[in-house]
Amino acid sequence: MTDWVWLVPLLPLAGYVFLLLSGRRTPEAVAAGVSVVLTGISCVLSLVVFFQLGPEPAGGQTWLFHWLTIGSAHVDVGISLTHLNALMLVVVSLVSVLVLLFSQGYMHGDERFSVFYQYLNLFVFSMLGLVISPNLLQLYIFWEMVGLCSYLLVGFWYFKPEAALAAKKSFIVTRIGDTGLFVGMILLFLGTGGSFDFTAIFQAVSAHTLHLGWMGSQGLTTLAALLVFLGAVGKSAQFPLHVWLPDAMEGPTPVSALIHAATMVAAGVYLVARMFPLFQASPPALTTVAWIGGVTALLAALIALTQRDIKRVIAYSTISQLGYMMLALGIGAYALGVFHLFTHAFFKALLFLAAGSVIHAVDTQDLFQMGGLGRKLPITRWSFLAGALALAGIFPFSGFWSKDDILTAAWQRGDMALYWLGLVAAFCTAFYIFRVYFLVFTGQSRDEERTVGAHEGSWVMTVPLVILAALATLAGFVNTPWTGHGLERYLEHDATASAAAATPVQESLPLMVFSVVVGLLGIGLAYLLYGRKSDAPARLAEKLSIPYAISLHKFYLDEVYYHTVVVGGKLVARLVRALDRYLIDGIIEVGARLVGVLGLALKYTQNGQVQAYGVIAAFGLVVVIVVAVLGVGGVL
Amino acid sequence: MGLSLWLPGAPVIAALVTLFLPTRAAGLSRLVAGFGFAASLVLAVLAWASYPGAGYAHMNSFSWFTLPNVWLGHNLTIGLSFGVDGLSLPLVTLTAVIALLAVVGVPTPAGGARVYHFWQSLLVAAILGVLTALDLFTFLVALELALFAGFFLIQQFGGPRRRHAAFKFLLYRGFATIGVLVAFVGLAYGLAGLYYQGATVASTPKLPSSVGSLTFSLPTLQQDIGHAAAVFSGARPALFLVLLLAVFIEEAFVPFHTWLPQAHEQADTATNMLMGGMMTKIGAYILLRFGVGMLPDQVHRFSLLLAVFGVINILYGAFAAWVADGWRRLIAFSSISHMGLVLLGISAMNAAGLQGAMFMMVSSGLLTALLFFVSGAMEARTGTSQMGQLGGLSKPMPMLSGFLLFAALGSLGLPLTSGFISELQAFLGAFAGHPYLSLVGALGLVLSATYLLYAIQKTTFGPAVSPAAALTDARPVEYLPLVVLTALVLVVGVYPAVIGGLFGLSAHTLLGIGG
């Protein structure tokens, strides 16, 4: 019944090709219309696939085509449909179609409007291709393709130096992680005796046959899992490779919503989920995933407390939320990590699009130039509020269900340190997102000039906001105790997830109430500081000057990296240049001066006559023959 | 009679024709050269299409004269012979493609069109000759011709420091030629010695070929030397090391590399495309054909040495490219870095590694040619290739900037380009052979992204530096090289089996498994 699933990624590809061929002057309505319709069909098809997919054999349905023979190993490409993949298809295509619609309003009038849609279509295709890859190699290919699209779209306004820098930085930082994934993929290929297939890898892992000449099964499993995770750390902007994502906010805001919040950055989480049997086979790797996730969740939340740029606050929030997902996977709560990915995609896309709507209206990203916009942008305000409540984890918004389940799971598994990391981060989350809400939408304008003419965008911008607001509010109900943990049971059909779901989380009312209270406290504090006109924030910043500076300067990580990795790398490069110029080439140059006679002799032969050169060449050949026959032969 | 002779033969004829053209008809000599390359390309495609699938094909042989009683009673026949196999076919085709695109897309530099196209045709003929030679003598003649043709192209049509660069080119590569020569003569005489021994000492194992005479024939040598590992052991390491030294110089491997960046900085765009695209792949070809093909035991023996030098070149090239001031130097070091990976792949001596090395030769050829073409086209408009003086070129030249970005992305190994599949296979082989060194080499993935995107950011992103109004985007004729090279990079990247079949077969043949 789902044989036509290949259409899902192919339709956006058709959109890409269409816009590539139709050129830069394609009318805006055509570029946007074609893209929305094609991806819309993809979205409908994804939903059909999602609901039609019944219990499947291990590894899901696959369709394969031969691609290349490497040595004696056959490498295939194709499609693999598991329940996790079907869920991802829905998330990606649904958010994509809304963002494509929103962009028509947001990007209206841009000189390269159709190029923007062209890149977006390529992204949607690559992202959809990524989540239905049957093997690690194909996943890696699309993994890099979405990275390319991110690069192109972050640098879309290429003439802005900050955008150019951010695009480069995002590519290079994620490339560090990708190199880990690349090496991990190669080790898994060699360890399985020549296969990139997920099923073959999982079989080798479970049968303990994964090995190389220089490393046994357990060691290789852990090493490969950690290398694969390095890729996920880069893509999902986890500590210590998270530094690219806030800078990537230089791209147009719809891009931030789609790529840098809902889909591409979640690919790292998806990768760990997709390769979960590999991680499960290695407790050290799982522990690493959990701790990286937990630390990232808190670190990013602390940074988000003080940022002035609305998009950067939400970007750090994304990093933090992805940390929760990693934490969930790391403690073995596979389905909960995926559940949070699902809800987060909607409420974070919503927050970004709402922020985009605000930026579109006031043309600034500085929170302290906004204020009182709630009356002028009512739809944006209420939808942002829904997203903020979901992010803050307030009952019954979607984020409450997924985040609370993760914290409960950590508690019930006895990972108390991780629980408290998550809980403190949750408090910060509620605070920083309502700080944004109060600064933007309530009180008085801080910059009348900018805010006076603010108004809502056209329906293409407000309709996606309303739909996403509904999803952000309601999406959590797919997996509640009242709805029979529907999502968890759906995912259990996959062989990869069934083992993980062996010990399901038991919702506990006290824990739920506790985390909602923590969230409300965060909101309350934000109200006290920013909900009314007061100089409390400034006084607080002064009183806590050192923690404030650390948060404001993002724990100085960019500076640390610059002065170690970048400066160190450049130092090596300069050393190489000096070595090249003065030692290697220097010796040759001096040597050549010493035997300059040859050069001098040849110099006099340059009389510009082709025939003369021909004679020289012929002479060279004669020398060859003579030397060959008489001279050198005798040596042996 | 096969058609291999005419692969290098067509451009030779074109070169000879240019000599008889009137001096003032500048366009005519370009046309003649173009026809010569087009003929080679057509023949290469024909040869590929009708390739039987294994071994040497489309062979021609001519004997010229015989030297009687040269050594231990052997006679030596000197002549020319040509042929193609799975390893050389894609490389031959690639050479013809790049040559044709270079002559069509790049304007003839000032200083005499006739002379320029004469040497250009000879350079292409020489590279094709090297790739099709089935005889040591033929090989050396072609190598020698490439040396001189390259020398004169740089020396007469290069930039301000062309003379210095040309002599460096000549001396380095001339030395490499001598190395190849010594190794070849050693191989031939060594085998003749074996035949002699076989005739006089009864216990000597029988060799598969029945030639039994001093010979320069490549197929015979390959067959017999490969089987003679046990008996011909003493001289083999020495021969291999001499050959390796020549390969290192030809490939511009550190520390024998300084001729290459300087040559690229001085040469004109078309010569850079040929030199970077194909000429710097000859060393790897020699290593595969004569090292892996004839002295596989020695490649195994010095595997660690090759791997170490491979990694050194990957990283050295990348670091040097990072601080390069201009595109020409950057591309030269980027090519050195690529070829370091080729060396690492070969060092593993497994099918994936060899296949990856062959892919990388094609990929690096395509991408280096494309990079030189685009950066050359930009240089022709802006008057500089120095990154510090460029900026914001996306605005006045969106198409050229786009192709430059594409070439850079291919070069840094983005999937669905030829660069990725080459890197993947080379590393697959390398990790099986030298895991720890390969891990160090994998740093090159990060470094290549760093230096290429840094250069792209400086050149095409940001606010425009120079007055944009005077700058024009790609002209119609320039789209031919841009589109064709881009398409080939994509074809190999998206459907690598187009060359994977031939290269896989060649890898198995060289390793003596299957085929």
Which chain B positions have a beta carbon within 8 Å of A189's beta carbon?
428
Same domain, A487 and A580: no
Residues A465-521: tens digit of each pLDDT: 999 999 999 998 888 887 778 888 888 877 665 555 555 677 788 898 999 999 999
Same domain, A416 and A524: yes
List all residues 6 or more positions away from A441 whose beta carbon is below 8 Å from its beta carbon. Answer: A372, A373, A374, A377, A381, A384, A385
Put simply, the chain B residues between 287 and 316 with a CB less than 8 A from any chain A CB are: 316
List all residues 6 or more positions away from A432 whose beta carbon is below 8 Å from its beta carbon. Answer: A301, A304, A305, A313, A316, A317, A526
Tell whether B416 is within 8 A of chain A (Cβ).
Answer: yes
Judge whether residue A296 has pLDDT over 70.
yes
In a domain, A159, yes or no: no
Which chain A positions have a beta carbon within 8 Å of B67's beta carbon?
629
Tell whether A607 is within 8 A of chain B (Cβ).
Answer: no
In a domain, A562, yes or no: yes
Tell whether A17 is within 8 A of chain B (Cβ).
Answer: no
Taking only the tens of pLDDT, chain B with its 515 residues reads: 579 999 999 999 999 999 888 877 778 999 999 999 999 999 999 999 999 888 899 988 888 777 777 777 777 788 889 999 999 999 999 999 999 999 999 998 888 888 899 999 999 999 999 999 999 989 999 999 999 999 999 988 988 988 889 888 988 898 899 899 888 888 888 777 777 776 666 666 666 666 667 788 888 888 777 666 655 667 788 889 999 999 999 999 989 999 999 999 999 999 999 999 999 999 999 999 999 988 888 899 999 999 999 999 999 999 999 999 999 999 999 999 999 999 999 999 999 999 999 999 999 999 999 999 999 999 998 888 888 888 888 888 999 999 999 999 999 999 999 999 999 999 999 999 999 999 999 999 999 999 999 999 999 998 887 665 578 888 888 999 999 999 999 999 999 999 999 999 999 988 875 43
Same domain, A560 and A436: no
Query: How many residues in chain B?
Result: 515
In a domain, B199, yes or no: yes
In a domain, A360, yes or no: yes
Confidence of residue A60 (pLDDT cuts 50, 70, 90): low
Judge whether residue A422 has pLDDT over 50.
yes
Cβ atoms within 10 Å, residue A171: 28
Put simply, the chain A residues between 559 and 598 with a CB less than 8 A from any chain B CB are: 569-570, 572-574, 576-577, 580, 584-585, 588, 592, 598
DSSP3 helix / strand / coil % (chain A, rounded to 5): 75, 5, 20
Helix (H, G, I), strand (E, B) or coil at A388: helix
According to the model, what pLDDT value does residue B22 have? Answer: 82
Confidence of residue A212 (pLDDT cuts 50, 70, 90): confident
Same domain, A442 and A322: yes
Q: Which chain A residue has its CA at the smallest distance from B321's CA?
A: A573
List all residues 6 or more positions away from B505 whose beta carbon is below 8 Å from its beta carbon. Answer: B53, B54, B86, B515
Q: Please choose, from the candidates B145, B167, B146, the residue with its C-alpha nearest in 3D space to the C-alpha of residue B156.
A: B167
Domain that holds residue A578: 555-594
Tell whether B460 is within 8 A of chain A (Cβ).
Answer: yes
According to the model, what pLDDT value does residue A217 have? Answer: 87
Q: HSE of A121 in the Cβ direction (CA atoms, 13 Å)? A: 27
**Distance (Å) from the alpha carbon of B435 to chain A's nearest alpha carbon:** 9
According to the model, what pLDDT value does residue A131 have? Answer: 95
Are B258 and A165 within 8 A, CB to CB? no
In a domain, A541, yes or no: yes
Same domain, A510 and A439: yes
**Distance (Å) from the alpha carbon of B473 to chain A's nearest alpha carbon:** 15
Which of B76, B416, B425 is nearest residue A70 as measured by Cβ atoms? B425
* Mean pLDDT of all residues in A595-603: 55
Helix (H, G, I), strand (E, B) or coil at B82: strand
In a domain, B461, yes or no: yes
**Distance (Å) from the alpha carbon of A232 to chain B's nearest alpha carbon:** 16
In a domain, A47, yes or no: no
Judge whether residue A630 has pLDDT over 50.
no
CB A273 within 8 A of CB A343: no
**Which H, E and C letters describe B218-282, residue by residue?**
HHHHHHHHHHCCCCCCCCHHHHHHHHHHHHHHHCCCCCCCCHHHHHHHHCCHHHHHHHHHCHHHH
CA distances to A490, B17, B98 from B104, in Å: 60, 18, 10
Which of A145, A155, A625 is nearest residue B415 as measured by Cβ atoms? A145
**Distance (Å) from the alpha carbon of B273 to chain A's nearest alpha carbon:** 23
Counting one residue from chain A and one from chain B, the pairs whose CB atoms sit within 8 A come to: 185
Same domain, A528 and A566: no
Residues A606-624: tens digit of each pLDDT: 544 544 555 555 556 555 5
According to the model, what pLDDT value does residue A316 have? Answer: 96
Q: Which chain A residue has its CA at the smallest distance from B429's CA?
A: A71
Are A172 and B462 within 8 A, CB to CB? no
In a domain, B403, yes or no: yes
In a domain, B1, yes or no: no
According to the model, what pLDDT value does residue B237 have? Answer: 87
Distance from C-alpha of B65 to C-alpha of B23, rounded to nearest angstrom: 37
**Distance (Å) from the alpha carbon of B186 to chain A's nearest alpha carbon:** 7
Q: Which of A13, A16, A70, A566 to mutate to test the interface with B (most CBs of B within 10 A)?
A: A70
Which of B19, B182, B439 is nearest residue A183 as measured by Cβ atoms? B439
Put simply, the chain A residues between 144 and 173 with a CB less than 8 A from any chain B CB are: 144-145, 148, 155, 158-161, 163-165, 167-168, 171-172
According to the model, what pLDDT value does residue A499 have? Answer: 56
- What ipTM does the predicted assembly reach? 0.94
Same domain, A588 and A474: no
* Residue A14 burial class via C-beta count within 10 angstroms: exposed 0-12, middle 13-18, buried 19 and up: middle
Same domain, A487 and A560: no
- For B391: left if phi > 0, alpha if psi spans -120 to 50, otherwise beta; the answer is left
Which of A552, A578, A604 is where one domain is finished? A552
Confidence of residue A596 (pLDDT cuts 50, 70, 90): low
| Residues forming beta bridges with residue A77, ordered by sequence position | A65
Which of B141, B355, B462 is nearest residue A621 as measured by Cβ atoms? B141
Which of A190, A574, A610 is nearest residue B323 as measured by Cβ atoms? A574
In a domain, A34, yes or no: no
Distance from C-alpha of A74 to C-alpha of A222, rounded to nearest angstrom: 26
Put simply, the chain A residues between 176 and 205 with a CB less than 8 A from any chain B CB are: 176, 178-179, 182-183, 186-187, 189-190
Which of A144, A175, A580 is nearest residue B320 as measured by Cβ atoms? A580
Put simply, the chain A residues between 494 and 513 with a CB less than 8 A from any chain B CB are: none
> How far does CA B29 lie from the centroid of its chain?
25
H-helix or E-strand spanning residue B57: strand B57-71
According to the model, what pLDDT value does residue A636 have? Answer: 33
List all residues 6 or more positions away from A97 whose beta carbon is below 8 Å from its beta carbon. Answer: A36, A39, A40, A42, A43
Helix (H, G, I), strand (E, B) or coil at A2: coil
CB B69 within 8 A of CB B75: yes
According to the model, what pLDDT value does residue A618 have? Answer: 56
In a domain, B299, yes or no: yes
Same domain, A333 and A449: yes
Same domain, A480 and A520: yes
Same domain, A332 and A462: yes
Which of A66, A183, A621 is nearest residue B144 as measured by Cβ atoms? A621
How many domains does the structure of chain B reveal? 1
pTM (predicted TM-score) = 0.93
In a domain, A327, yes or no: yes
Same domain, A450 and A589: no
Are A616 and B392 within 8 A, CB to CB? no
Which chain B positions have a beta carbon within 8 Å of A68's beta carbon?
421, 496-497, 500
Are A178 and B445 within 8 A, CB to CB? yes
Helix (H, G, I), strand (E, B) or coil at A371: coil
CA distances to A9, A129, A266 from A6, in Å: 6, 9, 22
Domain that holds residue B498: 6-511
Which of A552, A572, A607 is where one domain is finished? A552
How many domains does the structure of chain A reveal? 2
